[in-house]
A and B are shown apart, each in its own frame.
Chain A
Amino acid sequence: QAGLTQPPSVSKGLRQTATLTCTGNSSNVGNQGAAWLQQHQGHPPKLLSDRNNNRPSGISERFSASRSGNTASLTITGLQPEDEADYYCSAWDGSLSAQVFGGGTKLTVL
């Protein structure tokens, strides 16, 4: 099943802003929106934002999600060392009747 497209890696400096992108199509991101997950090495993923761009309780305001057409974005402001992780987007695909994930973006904080 076709997945969502994310850049494999992004590098930004401490306290800078990183914007991660996730591109799908009209059957998934464009129609359903996308959720964002953070995964640190050796740990399970953690939800940062649901498909309506809402943050779960306890998630820092430094993480904000948005969508324009078939592309979803996650913006992380004031980058901290602990933000270094893999980030995944996910959406329901109505045509495939399947949950699809992006390949993940490895964020490096320099």
Chain B
Amino acid sequence: QVLLVESGGDLVEPGGSLRLSCAASGFTFSNYYMSWVRQAPGKGLEWISDINSSGTLMRYADSVKGRFTISRDNAKNSLHLHMNSLRADDTAVYYCARKVESATDYWGQGTLVTVAS
């Protein structure tokens, strides 16, 4: 079955950096777009980035453009999110999700990023 497992969430100080990873299994990873979506405590879902199947097209929400970088390693079935210049409003659960037909059909359990001093 499709499984997505995020890791790397942590407590980090404002201005700091963090790298999130998502390990994928149960499907042909290299055939799918992948997304990162976050959810701040008690708030709704916010799309932050996606990447095409070959890793050559990356798109970002305005709120993270220039600070976050999405990447993937199809040989290792893994998705990554490099986050720099973190701010308090980046505090959220970050979900890795598989994308099909402009919808996200499988989601990981999420990893919590807390930005605070």
Q: A residues engaging B (CB < 8 A)?
A: 1, 32-33, 35, 37, 39, 44-47, 50-52, 56, 86, 88, 90-92, 97-104
- A51 with B105: in contact, given A101-B47, A104-B45 (CB under 8 Å)? no
Residues from chain B with a CB closer than 8 A to the CB of A90 are 45, 47, 102-104
- A97 with B59: in contact, given A35-B102, A51-B102 (CB under 8 Å)? yes
Is the beta-carbon distance between A1 and B102 smaller than 8 angstroms? no
Is the beta-carbon distance between B59 and A50 smaller than 8 angstroms? no
Cα separation A39 to B95 with both chains bound (whole Å):
13
Interface SS, B side: strand
Is the beta-carbon distance between A98 and B108 smaller than 8 angstroms? no
Q: How far, in Å, is A89 (CB) from chain B's closest CB?
A: 10
